[in-house]
Structure 1
Amino acid sequence: MNNLLYQVDDRPPMLTTVLLAAQHMLAALGGIIAVPLVIGAVLKLPADQIVALVNAALLGSGIVTIIQCKGVGPVGIRLPCVMGTSFAFVGAAISIGFEHGVPGILGSSLAGSAIMIVGSFFMPQIRKLFPHTVTAVVVTMIGLSLVPVAIDWAAGGKGAANYAAPINLGIALFVLVTVIGLVQFGKGIISAAAVVIGMAIGYIVCLALGLVDFSSVAKATTFALPQPLQYGMTFPISGILAMGLAYVVTIVETTGTFMALGTATNTKVRGKHLCRGVLCDGLGSAFVSVLGSPAVSTFAQNVGVISLTGVASRHVVALTGAFLLLAGLFPVLGAVVVTIPQPVLGGAGLMMFAMILAAGVQMLASMEHNKRNGLIIAVSLGCGLAVSARPELLAKMPAIVSEIFGSGISTGAIVAVLLNLVLPGREAEAHDEESEEPPQPLLVKNIEAA
């Protein structure tokens, strides 16, 4: 039984497509903008350079998203996949930036992308390391890692002076309840676009309460053309090694995200699909480096949008890429979206990210319950949660250890893969994996087309 409202290759009506594409953009925009802002703030870059990094990140993310969704020859997984700048590269970028500046970051990112490009041709072999047990752990860990992000948004933003103020939590709860109501009781497009409609209602409430800050709109330029290689590039060996390691970690995380995407879209993701998707990640990161942006990777949070709404059309997400491209060319558009208060994002984000977690739990529940699987699940989730909940655990470890295990997703995935390799019984499980039917997506309800 297929519960999707729109399949991967379906083309919804234009108005529906626009609303659904905007929904994906709202889910991704904050993450895309955050990476260049963090890098710029830590390195104390001039304001104009930070703005240029943000614009390049939006433009590059949009172009690579379109290619990933539509496909160009052997490049692109052809699934509803949003691409954006990744926090997996922030640590390496900052360490490189302190010594070699932005040219060193971009040059190292360009050279390091070769790791991902070459690695993409070995994805059929890497896919064998992700049987159902490991995939279930990774999908669950993605949800567990994203939910705290939504909680911080709901509270007003990590580090905000009014963090966890009752007004923030109240707005987030209002948006959450609104989205739940629209999904559960809405029909057709109302249910499918529940996230963007709920956020719009929350935004209107914040406007009425005077909680929307338009200062970013006033400062934003109307139109800005990209300026490739405006910073120049340098290629420090230490920087290339650091970025290369970040790309290795990203391959693991991206593989997990693609597997979660397969679950949400009812698609059996095989090695050849991973090859096209990871190749697009690598070539896309090389392209955006030339454009003047930090490296990109697949966004896990948008899997939650698909799981929640049942809209798996890659053409919808390709339009999201076009919206991101326009936001990069017209910074004022992105600035308007940035005015959405954090609690509004938090209320919707909690629902979306929890859907990924619920999908992971459903996958875990469908597995055979035996000692081997229990060990893999318990130890890998425990290790992943350890570094997510207490990142200071790695503070005194060598930089290479922090780079590899700094993410709960990568830690959980690596531990699960290693345990699956060393514990007895792997051969039988690998055989079962070959005949496994495509997993069914977890939806709030079976949504009927309008």
Structure 2
Amino acid sequence: MNNLLYKVDDRPPLVTTTLLAAQHMLAALGGIIAVPLVVGAILKLPADQVVALVNAALLGSGIVTIVQCKGIGPVGIRLPCVMGTSFAFVGAAISIGFEHGVAGILGSSLAGSVVMIVGSFFMPQIRKLFPHQVTAVVVTMIGLSLVPVAVDWAAGGKAPGADYGAPANLGIALFVLAIVVALVQFGKGIISASAIVIGIAIGYAVCLGLGLVDFSSVQKAAVFALPQPLHFGMSFPPSGIFAMALAYVVTMVETTGTFMALGAATETKMRGTLLKRGVLCDGVGSAFASTLGAPPMSTFAQNVGVISLTGVASRHVVALTGVMLALAGLFPVLGAVVVTIPQPVLGGAGLMMFAMILTAGVQMLGKVEHDKRTGLIIAVSIGCGLAVSVRPELLAKLPPFVNEIFGSGISTGAIMAVLLNLVLPNRPVEVHDDEEDVPQPLLVKDLEAV
């Protein structure tokens, strides 16, 4: 049964497309600007350089998102993918930046992207390492890793402070969550599909009335800013290139898992050739972003939750999101306005979006063959992934390269699932791309039937 309101190649009306594209932008914008802000703050860069990093990240994310959705020749998966700067590269970027500055980060990013570009040509072979039980583990770990992000938003910020978990923050988040649930469950057509952006808009209006919106970022933002390619220059330290190459390998594993989740959400069979085009766009896009002066790019998992929640899988909608992100890079004041949305408002909507990915993963786990071997793969992989997610300090005393590989619960869970699937005896016959039956995503409207 078809659960999608709009399929991958459908073109909704312009007004509908704009609203739906705005939802994806709201889900991604915080993550896109967070990486340059974190790197800039830790490296103690001047304010103008941090602004240049943020603008380049938005512009690069927008352009690469359009390419990923629309495709140019062999580049681009032609599915609704939002691209953005990835936290998987933050550790490497900071270590390089302390010694070689932003020029070293960008040069290492450019050189390291070759790993992902070359690796993309082996995706048909890599795809065989991801049978259904492995894919189910990865999708579940994506959801488990994202839900705490939404919880921190709902509580008022990432690092616990005076306002973390304040009743006002939790009340706003629950209010927005209730609105989104009501709109998805009882709304029809565009109302249901636009539940996230409507819920955020109502929550924002309430925060405005309560005086909880800070407009200082809008007052400081420039109205228009041209991109400044090679503004920071480039250098190519061998140690930095190695660190970035390692981060690209980890990102390739995470991106593969995200594409698997995307395939389930969009009702698309995720064959090796599709993975090749998508990962190639990640690599080429990261190389392009480095010339703009932005950190490396990767496919955002959180936007898969938007698709699962709304049933809107149109790649043309997300291509418009790319246009919006690019405009935010050229007109910083636009991005600054979006940044004024209080985090509890985003947390209420984000909790629903990210939990939908987890729900899809649980549904996929329910369809795997239930035997001792599969149970071991699932239990050990999710257990190890949760271990580093819940207690990241677990790896603090290990060598830095171990942190780079296993610092993410998604990559840890994926690596463990792939390894266990290969080494445990009695491995079932591999499923080929043309024989695979991709499970359908579970939408909110289907929950009442479970």
TM-score (norm: length of structure 2): 0.98
Aligned twin of 2:236: 235
Q: Secondary structure at the match of 1:426?
A: coil
Unaligned runs of 5+ in 2: none
Superposed CA deviations along residues 79-107 of structure 1, whole A, max 9, x for unmatched, are 00000000000000000000000000000
CA deviation profile, 1:232-257 (whole Å, cap 9, x unmatched): 10000000000000000000000000
Partner residue in 1 for 2:421: 420
Structure-1 separation of matches of 2:143 and 2:438: 20
State the match for 2:73 in structure 1: 73
Q: Distance in 1 between matches of 2:104 and 2:3?
A: 48
Kept in 2: contact 1:131–1:433 (CA 8 A): no
Unmatched segments (≥5 aa) in structure 1: none
Kept after mapping to 2: 8 A contact 1:150/1:346: yes
Residue 146 in 1 paired to residue 146 in 2? yes
User: Per-residue CA shift, 1:160-189, capped at 9, x if unaligned?
Assistant: 431100000000000000000000000000
Letter paired with 2:379: A
Q: Percent identity?
A: 82
What is the alpha-carbon distance in structure 1 between the residues aligned to residue 219 and residue 427 of structure 2?
Answer: 59
SS of aligned partner of 1:297: strand
Query: Corresponding residue for 1:195?
Result: 196
**Is 2:272–2:433's contact at 8 Å kept on the other side of the alignment?**
no
Matched, 1:123 2:130: no
Confirm or deny that 1:411 pairs with 2:412. yes
Give the C-alpha shift of residue 200 in structure 1: 0.2
For 2:267 and 2:256, how far apart are their aligned partners in 1?
16
Residues of 2 paired with 1:323 and 1:189: CA distance? 20
Structure 2 counterpart of 1:328:
329
AA at the equivalent of 1:27: A
Distance 1:374 1:434, change over 3 A: farther
1:434 Cα deviation (Å)? Answer: 5.3
Indicate the residue corresponding to 1:28 in structure 2.
28
Q: State the alpha-carbon separation in 2 of the partners of residues 191 and 88 from structure 1.
A: 33
Does the 8 Å CA contact 1:182/1:190 hold for their aligned counterparts? yes
**Does structure 2 conserve the Cα–Cα contact (< 8 Å) formed by 1:4 and 1:446?**
no
Counterpart amino acid of residue 239 in structure 1: G
In 2, Cα distance between the equivalents of 1:433 and 1:312?
A: 21
In the TM superposition, residue 423 of structure 1 has moved relative to its aligned partner by 1.0
Q: TM-score normalized by structure 1? A: 0.98
For 2:2, the equivalent position in structure 1 comes to: 2
Deviation at 1:426, TM superposition (A): 2.3
Cα separation, 1, equivalents of 2:131 and 2:426? 12
| Matched residue count | 446
Query: Which amino acid is the alignment partner of residue 167 of structure 2?
Result: P
Cross-structure match for 1:339: 340
Q: Is the 8 A contact 1:288 1:294 kept in 2?
A: yes
**Cα separation, 2, equivalents of 1:288 and 1:161:** 37
Q: Report what 1:112 is aligned to.
A: 112
| d(CA) in 2 for partners of 1:314, 1:68 | 9
Name the structure 2 match of 1:292: 293
Q: Give the secondary structure class of the aligned counterpart of 1:445.
A: helix
1:55 aligned partner: 55
Partners of 1:353 and 1:445 in 2: CA distance = 16
Match of 1:360 in 2: 361
The equivalent of 1:15 in structure 2 is 15
Instruction: Give the conservation status (yes or no) of the 8 Å contact 1:109–1:243.
Output: yes
Cα distance in 2 for partners of 1:81, 1:434 equals 23
- Is the Cα contact below 8 Å between 2:267 and 2:441 reproduced in 1? yes
1:218 equivalent to 2:219? Answer yes
Secondary structure, counterpart of 2:84 in structure 1:
strand
C-alpha distance in 1 between matches for 2:434 and 2:62: 35
Shift of 1:446: 6.0
CA 272–162 in structure 1, closer or farther in 2 if over 3 Å, else same: same
Alignment partner, residue 45 of structure 1: 45
In structure 2, C-alpha distance between the alignment counterparts of 1:432 and 1:78, rounded to whole Å = 22
Deviation of 1:439 (Å) = 1.5
Q: Is the 8 A contact 2:131 2:431 kept in 1?
A: no
Deviating 4+ runs (over 6 angstroms): none
The one-letter code sitting in structure 2 at the alignment partner of 1:139 is V
Question: Which amino acid in structure 1 is aligned with residue 98 of structure 2?
Answer: F
Shift of 1:432: 7.5
1:168 corresponds in structure 2 to: 169
Q: Distance in 2 between matches of 1:201 and 1:426?
A: 51
Report the CA distance between 1:441 and its aligned residue: 1.3
Q: Which amino acid in the other structure matches residue 342 of structure 1?
A: Q
Residue by residue, what CA displacement relative to the aligned partner does 1:207-229 show, whole Å, maximum 9, x if unpaired? 00000000000000000000100
Per-residue CA distance 1:49-97 (angstroms, 9 max, x = gap): 0000000000000000000000000000000000000000000000000
1:432 and 1:63 map into 2 onto residues whose CA distance is 33
Write the letter of the residue equivalent to 1:97: G
2:230/2:291 contact within 8 Å kept: yes
Structure 2: how far apart are the matches of 1:267 and 1:17?
21
- Kept after mapping to 2: 8 A contact 1:172/1:343: yes
What's the counterpart of residue 318 of structure 2?
317
Counterpart Cα distance in 1 of 2:427 and 2:84: 35
Amino acid at match of 1:242: A
SS in structure 1 of the partner of residue 165 of structure 2: coil
- Kindly indicate whether the alpha-carbon contact (under 8 Å) linking 2:145 and 2:410 is maintained by their aligned counterparts in 1: yes
1:84 counterpart SS class: strand
One-letter code aligned to 1:312? A
Secondary structure (helix, strand or coil) at the match of 2:6 reads coil
**Distance in 1 between residues matched to 2:370 and 2:232, nearest whole Å:** 55
